[in-house]
Structure 1
Amino acid sequence: MEANAHRIRALAQWLSGDPDRAADLAQSALERTYARWGRIQSGDPMAYVRKALLNQQRDWWRRRQHRPEWPTAEVPDVRSGEDHAASHAQRDVMLAALGRLTRRERQVLVLRYYADLSDAQIAAEIGVAVGTVKSTSARGLRKMRVLLGSAGAPVPADW
């Protein structure tokens, strides 16, 4: 699990859009994983952690009436040698656009493009049909193209 700690934290960041909330999400997911380690270590622990992250985020959204959040802190995972200002600006635009999507659209796009899961895996992770994943993805991508285009940000070719 230690080798995947950075990926877990980054996935939590993309799901929540807030570095502090991401730290809480990752911590809670790892606590749940640790408590059930005997049952899950022979399977795919990362799948369990992803599911725990999704459940934690979903529970948080349900407890709190969702308002768009605009992250303001710098994301610490920028590699040296890159243009930090451009990296942060691009990430801020992407996080802001993701923040304007519905909860499900955001989950589907993050799991597809960040966690690199297939439609079937995403459907199993969030508990919906594969067709729902495909339609939600199409809607979310359409919105992202509009949001990123209006922000003047370059839209990735595969979006």
Structure 2
Amino acid sequence: MGEINSQLTSSKKTVPEVEVPSGNFSVSGRELKYRTTTGLTLKPTVGKTTTILGTYSSDTGKILDELGNIKSLDFGPRDGGFNLLNTPDELYISPEQFWENYNKPWLDNVIQRGDIIKIATEPTSQNIYRINKLTGETELTGFGKEFEYLKSNGYKYDDINKRMIKP
């Protein structure tokens, strides 16, 4: 965690200073009302952190709304709660900067903790890739980067349970 905090501290030097609350998406074991586009029922597991990945427009935006849409840089565990990346908007400068300074360190914590990782949005090519409007090239979406990063770290997609698992 110290390494992550040091990365976050150094990364903040290149972005505007913002007040960042300590967010916690714990809901005391309560199942969420929202059903994901993959058909998942979202209920946290006592004693574990449940990380949820998906596209903002299809799923995670609605999940964040139900959880109170807390913006935070607290990448720590959520014992019996949900973990979604939801940093203050001011920290986003470019996809590359955001990935290196926030998204990748957040996922590294997910991997290190051994979180339960639920996939809210089906990882189809339509959700994993997009056309870059400036270059015309096909590139990974944010969700696509997360999905591929987990695969590069030994995870496999369990299509039946809609989870990323380490065999």
Pair in the same fold by TM > 0.5: no
Q: Which has the higher strand share?
A: 2
Q: TM-score, normalised by structure 1?
A: 0.28
Q: Which has the higher helix share?
A: 1
- Relative contact order: is structure 1 or structure 2 higher (C-alpha 8 Å, sep ≥ 6)? 2
Q: TM-score, normalised by structure 2?
A: 0.27
